[in-house]
Amino acid sequence: MHAALPDSDVIIVGGGPAGMVLALLFARQGVRVTVLEAAHDFDRMFRGDTLHPATLQLMETLGLIGELLTLPHTRAVSARYIRPHRTQVLADFSRLGGKYRYLAVMSQMHFLNFLHRALSRYPGARVEFGARVQELLETGGQVRGVRYRQGGAEQTLSAALTVGADGRYSKTRALSGLPLLVLSPGQDVLWFSLPRQAGDPGGSIDLYVDGGHCVVATDHGERWQVGLSIPKGGYARSREAGTAAVRRAVGAAMPWLAERLERLSEWSQLRLLSVEVSRLRRWHRPGLLLIGDAAHVISPIGGLGINMAIQDAVACANLLTGPLLQGALRPRHLAAVQRRRSWQIALLQAQQVIEEREVGSVVGDPQAIHVPVGLLRAVNRLPLLRRLPAYVTAYGLWPERLAARWHPARADLAKTLAGGRGEGERQEHPVGGEASLI
Ligand SMILES: Cc1cc2nc3c(=O)[nH]c(=O)nc-3n(C[C@H](O)[C@H](O)[C@H](O)COP(=O)(O)OP(=O)(O)OC[C@H]3O[C@@H](n4cnc5c(N)ncnc54)[C@H](O)[C@@H]3O)c2cc1C
């Protein structure tokens, strides 16, 4: 069995933003990659729907930005904190340098379908839907692939590397035995959608705070995605209080939405997000690496989850493509990905724990002083500091850029490396050429 060639170079468990971006980055360099996705499609509501400047820049590097931006989206140029008599800008993306000075708010379903279409042009890449991973295949402590269920049948797949990108409730993480550090019990969020109307405010992601309630609202073009913070573990009590209590809470914080809130009448219209801030101490074992939410769950505060998941994927592509193409992947390469990414995740999470406590203190306590208004005012007076929150949201603390050697024009290098391993089946250009990618 050991002598047999693996079925794939890389198995990616989970076709979320981290898994699909990584699959695309690997596939375009000729790495054979299989994505196993438990769901039957990418149709999903109430997920992170923000594409940050770092992601837009990456799509430009890949020659995909034009087509991406033809998909339905809105643009948020700022994030604001809104109280009854005061509105404060938490992050002003319009002041950023660079070409993309906004967050694109796009349904995750559109984004993932877009990545899937791009990926389908590479013959060495495939996405298996309805494929739920259940077991890691291991020999001598080395992960060599997975066992999964698809259409009622058990299948196995082997690979030089298995990447767990299966989100916050990661099965891969549970199977790996890697210890998880939970930093904060956090709060929880109830999400729902309401139609948007002409004349509604727009162009910003807003956090409304009033009457002991925190509500976040994101403009999705035809609808608002609204999230109401509730105390951690308070779901049963909220459910007992019913939709009327949710309507009251949101209406107090967002009075202009009060009339439309009547449409929120069934509990089934609400979706619970259990907020968590946690991370793995170690992201890898021989033959296995975890990335995105599977390696670190980030609170929705600041909307950093997708950005960090995609930046993990970019770091993987930069550090692992060469060793994979040369058939020389070692545990130290996986450790390098964690080294590159984990310190900034840790710093961002530390900041989030503080912010979470602020939000947690206001939920259910109208008197609580929750956001450091004085500090915000000071930050807003200093031009350099004023740009900092926007920069960190847009790019993270240390942005991951696709290494120049993996830019489209350098596909010749991948060919050389693949040739060095003597594999004739490598294909670094998509079928039909690079000009029309979708
Ligand atoms: C309601 C909500 C609002 C959010 N808002 C924001 C926001 O505004 N901005 C932001 O940046 N982030 C936001 N987030 C967080 C963001 O959605 C996540 O951080 C991001 O999707 C993580 O990407 P990922 O690829 O790591 O994991 P996921 O997107 O969770 O993808 C994991 C995938 O793995 C699949 N999977 C799971 N188990 C298995 C298995 N055993 N076998 C095969 N496949 C499996 C799942 O079906 C899923 O498709 C929000 C999250 C939620 C829930």
In a domain, 177, yes or no: yes
| Nearest atom (ligand 1) to Cα of 227 | 1
To the question of pTM greater than 0.75 for the whole model, the response is: yes
**CB of 299 closer than 6 angstroms to any ligand 1 atom:** no
The residue among 222, 255, 274 that closes a domain is 274
Cβ of 14 closer than 6 Å to ligand 1, yes or no, is: yes
Atom of ligand 1 nearest to the CA of 218: 8
Q: In terms of Cα–Cα distance, which of 57, 416, 420, 367 is closest to 212? A: 367
Q: In terms of domains, do 303 and 412 share one? A: yes
Distance 16 CA to ligand 1 centre (A): 6
Ligand 1: atom nearest CA of 293 is 26
Helix (H, G, I), strand (E, B) or coil at 354: helix
DSSP class per residue in 394-423: HH-SS-----GGGSGGGHHHHHHHHHHTT-
Per-residue confidence (pLDDT) for residue 353, from 0 to 100: 76
| Confidence band, pLDDT 50/70/90 cuts, at residue 430 | very low
> Which residue CA neighbors atom 2 of ligand 1 most closely?
47
How many domains would you assign to the chain? Answer: 2
Same domain for 251 and 141: no
Same domain, 263 and 287: no
The answer on 297 and 204 residing in a single domain is no
192 and 160 inside one domain: no
User: Ligand 1 pocket: which of 37, 46, 310 to mutate (most atoms <8 Å of CB)?
Assistant: 37
Shared domain for 130 and 12, answered yes or no, is yes
For residue 150, tell me if it sits in a domain: yes
Residue 349 domain-assigned (yes or no): yes
Write down the mean pLDDT value for the chain.
86
Using a pLDDT cut of 90, give the percent of the chain over it. 67
Q: Per residue in 80-114, pLDDT tens?
A: 989 888 898 989 999 998 999 999 999 999 999 99
Q: Specify if 434 maps to a domain.
A: no
Instruction: State how far the Cα of 306 lies from the Cα of 17, in Å rounded to an integer.
Output: 7
Q: What CATH number corresponds to the domain at position 306?
A: 3.50.50.60
Residues 217 and 350 in one domain: no
Is 94 part of any domain? no
Amino acid 425: pLDDT: 43
Is the CB–ligand 1 distance for residue 167 below 6 Å?
Answer: yes
Residues 48 and 194 in one domain: no
Taking residues 109-126, report their average pLDDT: 96
CB-side exposure of 336: number of CA atoms within 13 Å? 14
| pLDDT score, position 428 | 40
Give distance in angstroms: CA of 274 to centre of ligand 1. Answer: 13
Q: Are 219 and 311 contained in the same domain?
A: no
Asked which of 274, 300, 333 is the last residue of a domain, the reply is: 274
**Ligand 1 atom 30: residue of nearest CA:** 167
Look at ligand 1, atom 29, and give the residue with the nearest C-alpha.
16
Q: Look at residue 2 and tell me if it is in a domain.
A: no
User: 47 CB less than 6 Å from ligand 1?
Assistant: yes
Average pLDDT over every residue of 5-24? 94
Binding site membership of 16 for ligand 1 (Cβ less than 6 Å): yes
32 is in which domain, residue-wise? Answer: 8-73+103-184+276-361+372-420
Q: Is the pLDDT of residue 234 over 90?
A: no
- Quote the ligand 1 centre to 380 CA distance (angstroms): 33
| 196 in a structural domain | yes
For residue 148, which of 140, 158, 139 has the smallest C-alpha distance?
158
